[in-house]
Each structure stands twice: as C-alpha cells, then as structure tokens.
Amino acid sequence: MTKQAKTAISPTRQEDYPEWYQQVVKASDMAERSPVRGCMVIKPWGYAIWEGIVRELDDMFKTTGVKNAYFPLFIPLSFLEKEAEHVEGFAKECAVVTHHRLEKGPEGGLVPAGPLQEPLVIRPTSETIIGDAFARWVTSYRDLPVLINQWANVVRWEMRTRIFLRTSEFLWQEGHTAHASQAEAVERTRMMLDVYARLAEEILAIPVIQGRKTPAERFPGAVDTLCIEAMMQDRKALQAGTSHFLGQNFSKASGIKFQNPEEKEEYAWTTSWGVSTRLIGGLIMTHADDDGLVLPPRAAAAHVALMPIYRSEQEKALVMEYTQSLACRLRDVFYHNRRLIVEVDDREIGGARGWDWIRKGIPIRVEIGPRDMAAESVFMARRDKPHKDRVSISRKEFVARIAEILDDMQQNLFERALAFQKENTAKIDGRDAFYAYFTPKNSEQPEIHGGFALAHWCASNACESRIKEDLSVTIRSIPFEAEFENGFCVYCGKPSGRRVIFAKSY
C-alpha cells in the first residue's frame, strides 16, 4: 500500500474507476496483457474462476439435453457471405488468414507465402459453419431437435481493449440448436436465457434484468435477441449474456431442411446463445472494493486461506501439524456439491500474506498460532467485511459452520449488489430530466453519473439513434417484467406503451 492511500488498491474507485479496475486485475494476479496486441494471458487464479463458470454452466446445459461438440476455428469466407446481415455485422471485426506458410524473404526475415484459394476467417462466431454441419445432419423431423454447445475461443478484432471486458481473443461457449417448429425454438431461446440468469445470480451473485434487445441492438441476422443486463459499480450496464432466436434465416442460408411428418420439406428453426470471459470482468466490477477482488464463494477459485503463525522452528512444526490437520478436515466438507478448496500459505512474509489474500478476494482468511492451538480455535476474517473485522471461533464450530458462513457471504454479496442496482435505477419522464441524468456534473468524479433510466420510448429507431449520438446512451433492454403503462417518448414526446432501460454501457 502507498502512504497516500489507506487502501490496498490505488487509485480508488472514486478517484479513477477505469484505472482502479486495471489495478484490481493486476493486484489479484488474475491476468495480464500478452505480447499480442489486444489479447490477454489468463493466469491460474483467473482461469480457476473461468473453470468454475464452465463447470456450473456445463451441468446446467446438459440438464436441458444439450451435448458438447467442437467445430473448426477457421471459417471459409464464402460461409459468412451466405447471410448478408450476419457478414455485415461482423465484417469490421474479422481476422482473416490469407496464406498457408512462411518463407525466408530477400532480407532474411520471414514473409507469408502460398496464398490460399479462399481466405479463412478466424471465427468471430460459428453460426455459419455449424449451420453447414446441421445441413448434413438433418434430413427428417426425426433428427430434430439438435442441441449442441461448444467451448471455444473466438477472435473479434477490437480497437480499444480492456482485460476480460473486451479483448481481441476471448474464451466463451456458444450454443446452437435446430428445431422442427418455431414455438420450440422460441421456447429454447428463453430457456437458455433463464440458465444464464441463474448462473449470474446464484453463482456469481450478480443481479440481472432479463429482457429483449431493440431491433437496432439485435445480433446480426437474428429475429429476436434476449439478454441479461447487469449494473456495475460505476453505474454502467454490462451485457452479461445473450440468447438469439434466429428464425429460419440461417437455415435458409445453410440449407438446413427436413421432411415433416407429411413428407413436405421445411426449413428448420434455429437458435444460438453464449456467454464469455467477460463475466469475470462483470464479477470484478460488481463486487471488488478498494482493497481488491471480492469473490462470491460459489464462484471463488478457492474458499479458505490458512495462514500459520510461528516464531521458532519448534512452534512451526506444531502449528503446521495443526494447520494441515485442519486443512484435511475442511477439504472433506462439501459446499454445493464441490469439495472446499483450501490454500495453506506458510510463506514467511508476515502480515503481507493477509493483504495478498485480501487483494485476491478469497472468501475466508484464517490465522493460526500457538495461542489458537492451545484454545482449539482459529482467528477468522470474511472478505465481505472490513479487513480489521476478525473473530476467534472454535475449530470444531468453524468446520461445522463453514458452509453456512460461505452461504451467508454469498447472499450478502448478492443483496448488496441488488440494493446498489435499485438505488441507481430511476423512472424518468421528460427529455430535460433524462439528459440531465446522463450528463456529467461539475464534481470530483464526472465519469460516474446516471445509472439505469426507466423511460418511455416510442419504438422509433430515429429516437434511439439520436439519444445514442447525443449521450452515448443506448437502450440496454426492453425488460420482460416492465409494467405496461401509457406515457410519452423521452425524446420525441410521442405516445409509448411501456418503459425500457437506458444506460451507458461497456
């Protein structure tokens, strides 16, 4: 820590939110920038969080009948050209392979050689190449539905990047399904959005609002895009997951046809849905504080850090034996069908160990010294409470109540984030009030203002575009649970039948 700051992270959220975020990532040892511009190296602590997300989602997917598969990283350019709106939506983000080997150049360096007959696009998303496979797999209504997911990486050539939130290459899952009826595909689209909402709220402790995107914000080529939106601590929105009803657009482009029971040929109805490592960025910005990362227990890379304290080699042997015995007991405890992950930290760096685990956001820190051994107790601190808030608890009670303590932390973090979301969501009527809500004030923190504005919109693309142009504010979603009430568009004043969510976003 610096002398100027009384926190482990400098600058604080209030001083410089974007830089605070970068420093939390660095201090928690989650990831770092790579030599390749716009890409990241995910380090073990960060990757363990992603592995937990993968494990939870994979189980949820399979419960709904989805099976995993894998498709090529390279997509022929002609495949993207089959669906006009789709290629237009991704054209500016595509990375393209044009050669298949390197040769020594005239000055000794390596130069591309062997031009490809057809350029290959490194997948920005896989609708087209998976559609090509579905066209081969599906001939009859008996072959449907096809429910496929793949865990993969994708490339979208971003100009402005930020670790986890927006990188040129990132990890994700993408689900793709084909159905015999429109109703079945629409049902699957909503089902998968519900899965994402469960992950966000129950595992990541991030409250989300479910809704649908406006036509201007839909996935390229989709008939309908559903989304979950979360509020970060700077009051901006983060799109935390999307599920798309693709209608028959991609089926017609890829030739996914089947014979129905009446032996008539029809095009299948398809969906796609996905979340990415962006969720880790959302986790940071929802829960982290000015001392570093704060991990909800169900999303944590590890649950408990045990820190033995001793002054001599004789004490060390006794304390380490006590600590390892406790670690074994804790590792036998199941927390939501997962064994507790326990870190034993015997580094000889004194009080710095505690701050290291605070910055990394581990849910529970435990100090164990000779006095604790004598009393058959431990000295415990929770990451959801101030770092000086530590209590002595008997070893037996600690082991017996550890799952209960972790659940209490999980619920506390969710309720804290939900309260923040509600405090910073406002119903706004009138253009002047709306513009004032999103306009920086003369304050020490001009970049943090506004929040979620529930305001009326006339469904005009022109009004949506002008607001975006004027304020860099977009319609994040048309909430499913929004009240149908008559009002007037916040921009043009024309009649409107419901409110939508406006916000600045990542």
pTM exceeds 0.85, yes or no: yes
Distances in Å between the alpha carbon of 355 and those of 13, 97, 391?
A: 18, 46, 17
Query: In this predicted structure, what is the pLDDT of residue 450?
Result: 85
In the 8-state DSSP scheme, what is residue 162? B
456 membership: H or E segment, kind and range:
strand 452-456
pLDDT at position 351 over 90: no
Q: Is-contact 175 272, C-beta < 8 A?
A: yes
Higher pLDDT among residues 184 and 440, named by residue: 184
Query: In this predicted structure, what is the pLDDT of residue 389?
Result: 94
CA distance 91 to 96: 10
Collapsed DSSP state (helix, strand, coil) of residue 305: strand
Would you state the structure tokens that stand for residue 243, as one six-digit string? Answer: 């599920």
Distances in Å between the alpha carbon of 65 and those of 9, 200, 254?
A: 44, 21, 24
Is-cis flag, bond preceding 145, omega within 30? yes
349 pLDDT band, cuts 50/70/90, is: confident
- pLDDT of 299-346, one tens digit each? 999 999 999 999 999 999 999 999 999 999 999 999 999 999 999 999
pLDDT at position 403 over 50: yes
Question: For helices 17-27 and 278-287, what crossing angle results, to 10°?
Answer: 110
pLDDT at position 443 over 50: no
pLDDT at position 126 over 60: yes
Query: In this predicted structure, what is the pLDDT of residue 141?
Result: 98
Would you state the structure tokens that stand for residue 339, as one six-digit string? Answer: 């064994």
CA distance 410 to 363: 9
Domain 300-421 has CATH 3.40.50.800: yes
Domain 17-72+124-287 has CATH 3.30.930.10: yes
Query: In this predicted structure, what is the pLDDT of residue 1?
Result: 40
pLDDT at position 3 over 90: no
Query: In this predicted structure, what is the pLDDT of residue 224?
Result: 98
**Residue in this structure with the two tokens 């390596």, named with its chain if needed:** 110
pLDDT at position 32 over 70: yes
Q: Is-contact 382 405, C-beta < 8 A?
A: yes
Query: 416 CB contacts (<8 Å, ≥6 apart)?
Result: 384
In the 8-state DSSP scheme, what is residue 43? P
Mean pLDDT computed over every residue of the chain: 94
448 pLDDT band, cuts 50/70/90, is: low
DSSP codes of every residue in 48-97? HHHHHHHHHHHHHHHHTT-EE----SEEEHHHHTTSHHHHHHHGGG-EEE
Vertex 90, ends 85 and 95: CA angle to 5°? 145
295 pLDDT band, cuts 50/70/90, is: very high
At residue 322, what are phi and psi to the nearest 5 degrees?
A: -65, -45
Catalogue the long-range contacts made by 200-203 (C-beta closer than 8 Å, 24 or more residues apart).
200/228, 200/230, 200/240, 200/241, 200/279, 200/282, 201/414, 202/298, 203/52, 203/53, 203/56, 203/296, 203/298, 203/299
Nearest to 214 by CA among 457, 478, 465, 490: 478
> 425-503: CATH homologous superfamily?
C-terminal domain of ProRS (3.30.110.30)
Exposed, middle or buried: residue 111 (CB in 10 Å: 0-12, 13-18, 19+)? exposed
Q: Is-contact 440 447, C-beta < 8 A?
A: yes
pLDDT at position 441 over 90: no
Is-cis flag, bond preceding 215, omega within 30? no
Domain range annotation of the chain:
17-72+124-287, 300-421, 425-503
pLDDT at position 137 over 70: yes
